[in-house]
Amino acid sequence: MRLTTALTALALAPTALLADAHSTPVPVEYGARPAYLVDKLPDGDLKDKLASCMGQTASKSDFSIGHRGAPLMFPEHTVQSNVAAARQGAGILECDVTFTADHELVCRHAQNDLHTTTNILVSDLAEKCTTGFTAAAGEEGASAECRTSDITLAEFRTLTPKMDSADATATTAEDYQGGVASFRTQLYSDGADLMTHAESIELFKSLGAKFTPELKSPSVEMPHDGFSQEDYAQKMIDEYKAAGIPASDVWAQSFNLDDVLYWIKAEPEFGKQAVYLVEWSEGFDEQDPSTWTQDFAQLKEQGVQYLAPSLNMLLTNKDGALAASDYAKKASEAGLNLIAWTLERSGPLSTGGGWYFQSVGDIITDDSDYLVALDVLAQDAGVKGVFSDWPATVTYYANCMGL
């Protein structure tokens, strides 16, 4: 089997990986980054506490969630990216779920991202893309759109994954493959393996991790060739049931509240941990309830237990310091379990942290603010878990703080 071959080649642990890896967890190592971030912290209680844990034994934590694996350095949603995340102690791993032309479920961040996350534009499948490559001309940047629904599962398996990127100045499809962000690397891209959703379940189980699949919004009109939104939502859950995964190990996510409510009604055991994802939108003020589009009491009445807002919704500037937002506090007071996304996706923070930190960009100074933000999320906002593009940082913090 393709996935089994990939696992064997990776040599996940010094000893052979047992079939029931929940009793044989992958060894966890922090690597250099957490200590690097601690060193950058200004003197104070947080630095003292985190520095005191430098010699601790690393262990897996469910507070640490791998966002597409560990895509700061590995191609997202690949076997290798998720193995790296598990080695960094992520207790929960993510497969963003979308579907192919023959309605098979695969791991991709979006149904229409194949042109930036794989080699499809320089493969024999380029002609099947929704919109082929268009070269940059004048003020118009290069463009393309290739969807998983443009190809079958068999064709999907022939693609080679790469770091998510595109060179908007490209005049050829080959040059369009570039544009990798300067804070990422291509050192670990060679030989990476794509995954179906079912294969991700097999892999994550073998790594001793739990599961947080996200049902992605289709780029095609639904129903698609008779495949309805409910069929899509149900098929994702069915693949966990077929693999014998207990519902208590699965946090199914969606930005579509109707998906979450469907799981609550149709699959109540899985619905107990269904996660409603929300993000910053224009006009939102994390301190002004009149700008909030979520009614926390209503969500609870509908059976929603988990709410996952973007970082910018949970953080605010309080007298020149990072603090938990009123949005975060009110959601928690309403009894919603909060999950935060996504730490370490912004690259170096010396310029304010971009979209994820836009509510506090004026007080973000350097990369040590990743740890300050993490501390605020955990201690003040009371989040139950944090997605990260480099899970070792969250794992180190969780281990040190006893989370």
Rounded CA separation 272/288 (Å)? 29
Residue-wise pLDDT for 172-216, tens only, equals 999 999 999 999 999 999 999 999 999 999 999 999 999 999 999
Between 10-19, 45-54, 68-77, 173-182, the lowest mean confidence (pLDDT) is in 10-19
Average confidence (pLDDT) over 280-301: 98
> What letter does residue 194 receive in the DSSP assignment?
-
pLDDT of res. 24 = 57
The answer to whether residues 91 and 61 touch, using CB atoms and an 8 Å cutoff, is: yes
pLDDT of res. 11 = 36
Residue-wise pLDDT for 131-158, tens only, equals 999 999 999 999 999 999 999 999 999 9
Alpha carbon distances (Å) from 285 to 278, 294, 337? 14, 13, 21
Rounded CA separation 60/24 (Å)? 12
The answer to whether residues 78 and 48 touch, using CB atoms and an 8 Å cutoff, is: no
Residue 10 has pLDDT above 60, yes or no: no
CATH class of 2-95+195-401: alpha beta
* Residues whose CB is less than 8 angstroms from the CB of residue 394 and which lie 6 or more positions away in sequence, other chains included: 61, 63, 64, 65, 90, 343, 374, 386, 388
> What letter does residue 345 receive in the DSSP assignment?
-
Q: Is 153 helix (H, G, I), strand (E, B) or coil?
A: helix
What type of residue sits at position 359? S
Structural domain boundaries in the chain: 2-95+195-401, 111-176
How much of the chain exceeds pLDDT 90, in percent? 94
Rounded CA separation 103/115 (Å)? 19
Alpha carbon distances (Å) from 136 to 128, 166, 172? 21, 12, 9
The answer to whether residues 179 and 116 touch, using CB atoms and an 8 Å cutoff, is: no
Output the pTM of the full model.
Answer: 0.94
Average confidence (pLDDT) over 24-32: 89
63 sits in which H/E element:
strand 61-66
